[in-house]
Amino acid sequence: MPELPETETMARQLDAAVSGRTIQRVTVRKSDVIREVSAATFRKKLVGARFLRSWRRAKLVISDLSTGDRILMQPRFTGAWTIDNGKLDPAALKYSTLAIFLDDGRALHYCDTRRLGTVALMNQERFEEYTGALGIEPLDRAFTASHLSGVFRSTHQAVKRALMDQKKIVGVGNIYANEALWAARIDPSRDASTLSESEVKLLHRSVVTVLREAIKMRGTSFRDYRDTSGEKGGFVDRLNAYGREGLPCPRCGSKMVGTHEIDGRQTVLCVRCQH
């Protein structure tokens, strides 16, 4: 599932590609991906609107329109915006569910193999209500070690689960929780409230570093993720924990262990380094 680095990559690419462009036409092939409004209203409200800015909040790719409305794309497992400049391989658009045609001849497609992602249209008031329950952004200045310590003190969840709680901290999913905990040498199953001040500081630094490095590499394409150009993310070659069950730990050489017992998802750790 695309996490913060992947959605940040898509948002940056989308902003560079479509800001200032006007929407001339919209087609909807699969209306079940649309949220908040009907397919007919979605088409009607978009035609004539101009893209002002595209950005990320949590795991959402958000596009501000000249009408005051916002498009929110939530990719979930396989969703992505794909930009067709007329030279794109038609196979890349096999799973296009809707298309937004621009005034420069290009088209913006929402492609989703499993069709579990969504595209919503919201006004400002509804947007504020929708995003109001989301947690802090881990790359914002307000996300300090002290803030993270407060998050952990308020829960007895496993530290990995607490890191992934989107009401506390947004954007950190399974891949980057595994990576940050490995980097900080912390057992993912530890009760979050038991971490010492020094451990919290190290984990805070690890979360920020891992996310920034993954953004530089345009995210992680472990399975389905592609950016707006259809390219894979390069961080997969730098993974130290996620997907490495049974392989040697890059730090100490011990065999990496995998489990689903912490939160029902694949957790990979080094039992020698992370204790």
Active site residue 3: yes
Active site residue 35: no
Cβ contacts of residue 18 below 8 Å, gap of 6+? 51, 54, 63, 83, 102, 108
In the chain, how long is the greatest CA-to-CA distance? 59
Cβ contacts of residue 178 below 8 Å, gap of 6+? 160, 188, 241, 242, 266, 267, 268, 269
Note whether 101 and 26 are within 8 A (CB). Answer: yes
Q: What is the DSSP string of 100-141?
A: EEETTS-EEEEEESS---EEEEE-HHHHHHHHTT--B-TTST
Q: Scanning the structure block, which residue is given the tokens 């996620």?
A: 242
Find the helix packing angle between 174-183 and 197-216, rounded to 10°. Answer: 130
Active site residue 2: yes
**Which tokens is 237 given?**
């070659």
Determine which one of 3, 6, 8, 179 is catalytic. 3
**Which tokens is 268 given?**
């990979």
**Which tokens is 15 given?**
């902003």
Cα distances from 247 to residues 177, 250, 270, in angstroms, run 19, 9, 10
Determine which one of 2, 5, 75, 188 is catalytic. 2
Length of the chain in terms of residues written = 275
Active site residue 59: yes
Determine which one of 12, 59, 190, 218 is catalytic. 59
| Angle in degrees, CA 92, 117, 163, rounded to 5 | 120
Determine which one of 50, 238, 265, 272 is catalytic. 265
Instruction: Give catalytic residue positions.
Output: 2-3, 59, 265
